[in-house]
Amino acid sequence: ESVLSQPTYKNNDRLLGGLLVAGFDEASCTSRYQSSLYRKTPVHKPSLYLISRLRNYEDLHKRCGPGTESYNTALEQLKSGQTIGSADCKYLVWISYSGLGNRILALTSSFLYALLTNRVLLVDRGKDMADLFCEPFPEKSWLLPLDFPLIDQFETFDHKSSHCYGNMLKNDVINASAELVPPYMYLHLVHDYDDHDKLFFCDEDQSLLAKVPWLIIKTDNYFVPSLFLITSFEQELSKLFPEKGTVFHHLGRYLFHPSNHVWGLITRYYHTYLAKADESIGIQIRVFDSRPGPFKHVMDQILACTLKEKLLPEVDMRDSVVTVSENPKLKAVLVTSLNSGYSENLKNLYWEHPTLTGEVVGVYQPSHEGYQQTEKQMHNRKAWAEMYLLSLTDLLVTSSWSTFGYVAQGLGGLKPWILYKPENEMAPDPPCRRAMSMEPCFHAPPFYDCKAKKGIDTGKLVPHVRHCEDMSWGLKLV
Ligand code: GDP
């Protein structure tokens, strides 16, 4: 029975349990109020406190967003190069950087940081942010105006920039207890950041940063787990997220509404290939190898995982003649991959042989783009549509290290089976394991004890921040 014919669907809350507000123009962003029609009844409810903080944020954004008097005043301050008194509104400008999955996670982390520090989040539109997503906040745009003074420098900002916080610390231009601060600072939280940049995650440094009117951030990481280790944020975070492993689940659903053309890609595909299935399984295949593939060891691993975990039915290799029942159960497998080889292989397997369970298995892959093409508009529209489609499946298998898969699992509220990263062209044994939570993994966390000023294993400090299943040095919330 399809999701759309389930009775729960009608009761589904179009505002996602209070996460969203009513009153947006529906035609300009169909997905915003329609997404609940495609999802199962949500298991995880946002806390009332999170909801009230989001409403406060929306008020702040309305009051301080682009075009407001407060925005113009703050902009004048930025242009003058001086910080005069305490500004009415403070800002966090997010620089568009890296692949789409990375961007979605980085932006979510930045929004949470803005929420915790009462800043207004403004989004550099890069090549295609405006094309892929609807506006998440009422009335005032989240997009950074194109005449923003520093916009031409975004690309060149790095850990050596003169306004880079870590670099300023390193060169003693500033120290964490300074009284006078410049009107803007650049936060370099990209995977190659150094020990000085990582001091961002210390309380003392946060009190300095709190004074800076404009913070500009570049990151390709989901740095939320380490925010949970900053003492001054701890209490607020546990009020916002009593269920700790749901941060991206809620914030992702709040922020990322596919734009109308992406929603078209999603819904047309869904109705054509997934809606009629009795059960759907998403398999996200991301192979970090410079050669094109497909690889036999990856195919072996996918089969070993899905069969062992009983996600897909075994086939009868003896090819005994089985009469298919008049109304066999239909399993739909949604494969996403840059390469078409894996789904071709699966499709053939289930055509050439009957299943032992009598089910029939349909295998579908929306695109096979060959390689990552971040600059092409349709390419990223498809990538976003595919992440979203994966999030609509009942069971999910993902690849290690891939933010593409993290986005799908988080939006879907799914604990995926993660395919271990193959080493030496061998299918790992065991091939996969179930994730502890649906949260993304922070790939480049700091390992530093700010108080003791020495190294420490940050994955062993509290029970809800642990090392990831797919990356031993990464951190994730559980
Ligand atoms: P990650 O590199 O797996 O962490 O994910 P990112 O989304 O950050 O970057 C990978 C990029 O490669 C995506 O944004 C897409 O542009 C492309 N890509 C990778 N896998 C797929 C896929 O299965 N389908 C599509 N359409 N694009 C993909």
Closest ligand 1 atom, residue 406 Cα:
4
The CA distance from 122 to 110, in Å, is 10
> For helices 341-352 and 296-308, what crossing angle results, to 10°?
50
337 lines ligand 1 (CB under 6 A): yes
222 lines ligand 1 (CB under 6 A): no
Which has the closest alpha carbon to 343: 277, 276, 282? 282
Closest ligand 1 atom, residue 404 Cα:
5
Please list, in sequence order, all residues whose beta carbon lies within 8 angstroms of the beta carbon of residue 383, skipping any fewer than 6 positions away: 100, 101, 369, 404
Q: What pTM does this model have? A: 0.96
> What sign for the dihedral angle of Cα 57, 59, 60, 65?
positive
Q: How far is the CA of 305 from the centre of ligand 1 (A)?
A: 22
Please give the structure tokens belonging to residue 250.
């809620």
Please list, in sequence order, all residues whose beta carbon lies within 8 angstroms of the beta carbon of residue 327, skipping any fewer than 6 positions away: none
Q: Give nearest CA residue, ligand 1 atom 9.
A: 99
Q: How far is the CA of 148 from the centre of ligand 1 (A)?
A: 30
Q: How far is the CA of 34 from the centre of ligand 1 (A)?
A: 25
399 lines ligand 1 (CB under 6 A): no
Distances (CA, A) of 148 to 122, 208, 319, 414: 11, 24, 66, 39
Q: Give nearest CA residue, ligand 1 atom 17.
A: 372
List, for residues 265-278, the tens digit of each pLDDT value: 999 999 999 999 99
Q: 10-residue block means of pLDDT along the chain (478 residues)?
A: 42 85 96 95 94 98 97 94 79 97 98 98 96 98 97 97 97 88 96 97 97 97 98 98 98 98 98 98 95 94 98 89 83 97 98 95 95 83 98 98 98 98 93 98 98 97 98 98
Indicate the top mutation candidate among 372, 376, 411 to test ligand 1's pocket, ranked by most ligand atoms within 8 A of CB: 372
Predicted local confidence at residue 85, as pLDDT = 64
> For helices 247-255 and 100-116, what crossing angle results, to 10°?
100
Predicted local confidence at residue 8, as pLDDT = 43
403 lines ligand 1 (CB under 6 A): yes
The CA distance from 148 to 400, in Å, is 38
Predicted local confidence at residue 322, as pLDDT = 67
